[in-house]
Amino acid sequence: MANNIFFEEQPEQDFDLVPDEDQIDVSLDPDPLFDDGARPRRSRKRTGILIAGGCAVLALLCIGVYFIVSQARASREIAAQAAAEQDEERIKAEMALQQSQEYEAIVNATTFLEGVTVEGIAIGGKTMTEAETLLSEVIESKKLSGTLPLTYGDKTYSFDLSGVSITTNLSDVLAQAFQLARSGGVEDVLAEAEDIRTNGKAYTLTIQYDFTSVNTQVAALALEIDQPAQNATFGQIDKEKHTVAVVEATGGVEVDQEALTSAITAALMGGDYTTPIEIPVKETTPTLTGDAFELISTSAETSFSGSTSNRKYNIRKGADLINGTVLKPGETFSTNGVLGTRTLANGWKMANAYVSGATEEQAGGGVCQLSSTLYNAVVKADLEIVSRRNHSMPVNYMRKGLDATINSVGNIIDFKFRNDTPSDVVIFAWTSGNTVYFKIYRCQFDTDEYDEIRLTSEKLETIYPSGEMEEELDPSLAPGEEEIVVNRRNGERWQSYKNYYKDGKLVRSEKLAVSTYSAFAGKKLVGPSPSPSASVTPSAPATPGTPAPITPEPVAPAETPAPAPTEAPTNTPQPTEAPTPEPAPTPGPTEAPPAEPDTPPAEPETVPPAPVEG
């Protein structure tokens, strides 16, 4: 600090006024010092000078002392200030170190900060695992127990509250709380930590009910309450009279599961577990009522008058097995499934069946007439054909292209169809005299376009056998003797049609199936070659044996194809409506069938050996 030094000028003294001092006259002696007479005056002046000089020296001395003291004081103050600054830096360094250590301890801690709470539970100083364990008890206490009453009509049902699981955001909350005061600068972290320690940091959990479990219980409850609407359908079935009664449709009810789930959820969220909830239901209506449920019956019949007694027996037996069959919506009818395996042990008799272009007796021979007649009735009923195959050779009881063969042994062949209607289908089968009848009852067609279906077929081509007749050596025959066992026969390919009628008038026609009847080169048995004679004179040649005549299975006469699908001529054996024969349609313009078949042949032109056809 600068010191201000002031020098005060000493006032002049008037020596003439000094009392008791002799006045010295210096005007006459320019040098009074050497004048004895002036000696007293010079002494006084010297004294004054000395005094003034002394005062000046003293002043200078004081000034020097003061300067020295001031300098010393300034030095001490500078030293003290430097020491204070050093102390301040040291304190700052110590504080910085302490803060750094505290910062590292906070950001690297494996526990939560003091002052943090979740649902009122302090978790400060606890690890993540310890906090989860502690809070799991809180979550467990929030789970529901007991039952919630539900009512429908005069009945009460219980909704199990313990089956409702809950979920929380505990993991998210703990993760968020764990990150408190772990990012930012030192001052920010320390300030945040101090604020949490002082004022606390509280978290609450979000509780959510698992509505999936609610839906599960509601769905199970609906199974108890739901009463589906019943469509009008067939009731009592009279197998003898071949009639069915119609059962009127009834309405139904079903639980409004969405509304009930919402009501239960609202109660759970509101904490109301005692107030009964009325179960909401919706009325359901049938899709087929009595007014709309018109019975449609289709029929087909074929004659077996020329059959053997065993074949007639098999046809009657099979018809009895099929009669009265009820096919539910979506079910598939299998002819083999209903008739079973045709064996003697199962009560079937031996009768002719087709095997590799010839006929031979098989157990259950003749049942193919059942499947063929049924096929015609099924197509007229507009049901879905699942599996159908024509015979390898034409049959005499059915128009070509409209038959369906079956076999239950070896190479399995089956006729199947599916009930693709919304109601039951009833199948009646019976015989009267030497005629087999089929009648099918179903609900009305799902369109007003047509009300009747008729079947026709036309020949597409003749298939000629290739190669020579097969020969097989038979040592039991005489040398040179021959016996024809399979006649040489042409094959044919036929196209069948479904013709849709409305009020007796043709609406449209569509292709149904292509049937290929195989060509056979034939087969004969031959005896051994004749032995050469030892005599020089040749003996007369042996007369070859005459082949035993084989009466082929009668076949329906070939039809001249019409330019358009029409009903089969009445003089051709074919299925007709039962019990009243179907009248021939009125000639008129019809849709011409396409020249080429739209489906592959039912079988190759030559039949592989083994299949047995009834």
Q: What is the pLDDT of residues 292-307, one digit of tens each?
A: 677 889 999 999 999 9
Is residue 189 domain-shared with residue 131, that is, in the same domain? yes
Q: Look at residue 109 and tell me if it is in a domain.
A: no
Is residue 145 domain-shared with residue 279, that is, in the same domain? no
- For residue 506, pLDDT beyond 90: yes
- For residue 77, pLDDT beyond 60: yes
Q: What is the per-residue pLDDT for 164? A: 83
Q: What is the mean pLDDT of residues 504-509?
A: 98
Is residue 198 domain-shared with residue 219, that is, in the same domain? no
Comparing 69-73, 132-136, 498-502, which segment has the lowest mean pLDDT? 69-73
Q: How far is CA 479 from the centre of its chain?
A: 75
Is 455 strand, coil or helix? strand
Is residue 59 domain-shared with residue 30, that is, in the same domain? yes
- For residue 80, pLDDT beyond 80: yes
Q: Which residues pair with 254 in a beta bridge?
A: 282
**Residue pLDDT, tens place only, 240-293:** 999 998 888 899 999 999 999 999 989 988 888 899 999 999 999 988 787 767
Please give the single-letter amino acid code of residue 236. Answer: Q
Q: Look at residue 38 and tell me if it is in a domain.
A: yes
**Residue pLDDT, tens place only, 336-349:** 999 999 999 999 99
Q: In whole angstroms, what is the distance from residue 63 CA to residue 240 CA?
A: 156
Is residue 199 domain-shared with residue 218, that is, in the same domain? no
Q: What is the per-residue pLDDT for 99? A: 80
**Residue pLDDT, tens place only, 155-195:** 999 999 888 888 889 999 999 999 998 888 888 888 989 99
Number of domains in the chain: 4
Tokens standing for residue 407: 């076999």
What is the number of alpha carbons within 13 Å of residue 104 lying toward its C-beta?
Answer: 5
Is residue 488 domain-shared with residue 353, that is, in the same domain? yes
Is residue 200 domain-shared with residue 218, that is, in the same domain? no
Please give the single-letter amino acid code of residue 87. Answer: D
Q: How much is the mean pLDDT over the chain? A: 82
Please give the single-letter amino acid code of residue 597. Answer: P
Q: What is the per-residue pLDDT for 209? A: 76
Q: Look at residue 560 and tell me if it is in a domain.
A: yes
Q: In whole angstroms, what is the distance from residue 418 CA to residue 421 CA?
A: 9
Considering 149, 180, 209, which residue would you say is the last residue of a domain? 209
Contacts with 509 (C-beta within 8 Å, 6 or more apart), sequence order: 456, 497, 498, 499, 500, 564, 565, 590, 591, 593
Considering 284, 304, 324, which residue would you say is the last residue of a domain? 284
Mind giving me the DSSP string for 158-181?
EEEGGG--EEE-HHHHHHHHHTTT
Q: Look at residue 402 and tell me if it is in a domain.
A: yes
Q: Look at residue 534 and tell me if it is in a domain.
A: no
Q: In whole angstroms, what is the distance from residue 257 CA to residue 99 CA?
A: 62
Q: Look at residue 542 and tell me if it is in a domain.
A: no
Helix (H) / strand (E) element for 327: namely: strand 325-327
Instruction: Characterize the bridge pairing of strands 523-526 and 470-473.
Output: parallel
Q: What is the per-residue pLDDT for 473? A: 93
What is the number of alpha carbons within 13 Å of residue 92 lying toward its C-beta?
Answer: 6
Q: What is the per-residue pLDDT for 448? A: 93
Q: What's the 3-state SS for 486-528?
A: ECCECEEEEEEEEEEEECCEEEEEEEEEEEEECCECCEEEECC
Q: Look at residue 3 and tell me if it is in a domain.
A: no
Is residue 188 domain-shared with residue 306, that is, in the same domain? no
Contacts with 28 (C-beta within 8 Å, 6 or more apart), sequence order: none
Q: How many CB atoms lie within 10 A of CB 162?
A: 10
Q: Which residue has the higher pLDDT, 552 or 381?
A: 381
Q: How many CB atoms lie within 10 A of CB 361?
A: 14
Highest mean pLDDT among 92-106, 387-401, 518-532, 566-580: 387-401
Is residue 262 domain-shared with residue 349, that is, in the same domain? no
Mind giving me the DSSP string for 177-242?
HHTTT-SS-HHHHHHHHHHHHHH-EEE-PPEEE-HHHHHHHHHHHHHHH-B--B--EEEEEETTTT
Compute CA distances 432 → 154, 373, 378, 576, 582, whole Å: 57, 14, 20, 15, 18
Considering 252, 284, 316, which residue would you say is the last residue of a domain? 284
**Residue pLDDT, tens place only, 557-575:** 333 333 344 333 333 334 3
Q: What is the per-residue pLDDT for 37? A: 52
Q: What is the per-residue pLDDT for 88? A: 83
Q: In whole angstroms, what is the distance from residue 42 CA to residue 120 CA?
A: 108
Dihedral pair phi/psi, residue 239, rounded to 5°:
-70, -25
By residue range, what is the domain housing residue 25? 15-104
Q: Look at residue 541 and tell me if it is in a domain.
A: no
Strand order in the sheet with 482-486: 470-473, 523-526, 482-486
Tokens standing for residue 531: 């032995």
Is residue 333 domain-shared with residue 387, that is, in the same domain? yes
Closest CA to 177 of 129, 133, 123: 123
Is residue 354 domain-shared with residue 441, that is, in the same domain? yes
Q: What is the mean pLDDT of residues 521-527?
A: 90
Is residue 394 domain-shared with residue 417, that is, in the same domain? yes
